[in-house]
Amino acid sequence: MTPNDVDVMKRKPFAKTESIFSRGMGVQLIIQSSILSLASVVSYLIVGFYTQSQSITGDDFIRLTSTAMFITLGVGASLNSLNLMSKNSIFVSSIAKYKLVYLASSFSTICVLFAAFVPGVRDVFKMAEISNIANYNYIYW
């Protein structure tokens, strides 16, 4: 179990009428969700403009843009778990202290990339084969 930053035994308990979104949690939830949503839309637009310039339309267009959004949302959600582990910035949080969270986040990111890039697995999720696109490294990295 990962340690907590604050000694919870010295903290006053929440009132039973207090919302779980109080004390700044609701604002943080909206900000983080907005950033992840914006990143997903931007990835969709980048891949959409690229596929349009390559005259890719129809089902292939939808599969490519959906694959880009899947990768963005999956990796973004995995990395967001690092942000949720502490009130401190992820840049000042100790990796040794939160090694289980970092391990779980890494495993989740690897699983998302595995589902997107491995031929048999990506077919199950009906994702596009992005390695056949010319300059696909430019799109994703």
C-alpha to C-alpha distance for 63 and 125, rounded to whole angstroms:
10
Is residue 141 pLDDT above 90, yes or no?
no
Output 132 or 84, whichever has higher pLDDT. 84
Which residue has 């292939």 as its token pair?
Answer: 60
Mean pLDDT within 52-76 = 88
| Structure confidence at residue 85 (pLDDT) | 75
**pLDDT for 8-55, tens place per residue?**
677 777 777 877 777 777 788 888 889 999 999 999 999 899 888 888
Q: Is residue 119 part of a domain?
A: yes
Q: Is residue 91 part of a domain?
A: yes
C-alpha to C-alpha distance for 77 and 81, rounded to whole angstroms:
6
Mean pLDDT within 115-129 = 86
Q: Is residue 18 part of a domain?
A: no
Q: Is residue 121 part of a domain?
A: yes
Its domain, for residue 136, covers 24-140
Q: Are 61 and 51 in contact, with CB atoms under 8 Å apart?
A: yes
C-alpha to C-alpha distance for 112 and 121, rounded to whole angstroms:
11
Is residue 132 pLDDT above 80, yes or no?
no
Q: Is residue 3 part of a domain?
A: no
Q: Is residue 1 part of a domain?
A: no
Q: Is residue 50 part of a domain?
A: yes
| Structure confidence at residue 15 (pLDDT) | 76
**What domain count does the chain have?**
1
Q: Is residue 6 part of a domain?
A: no
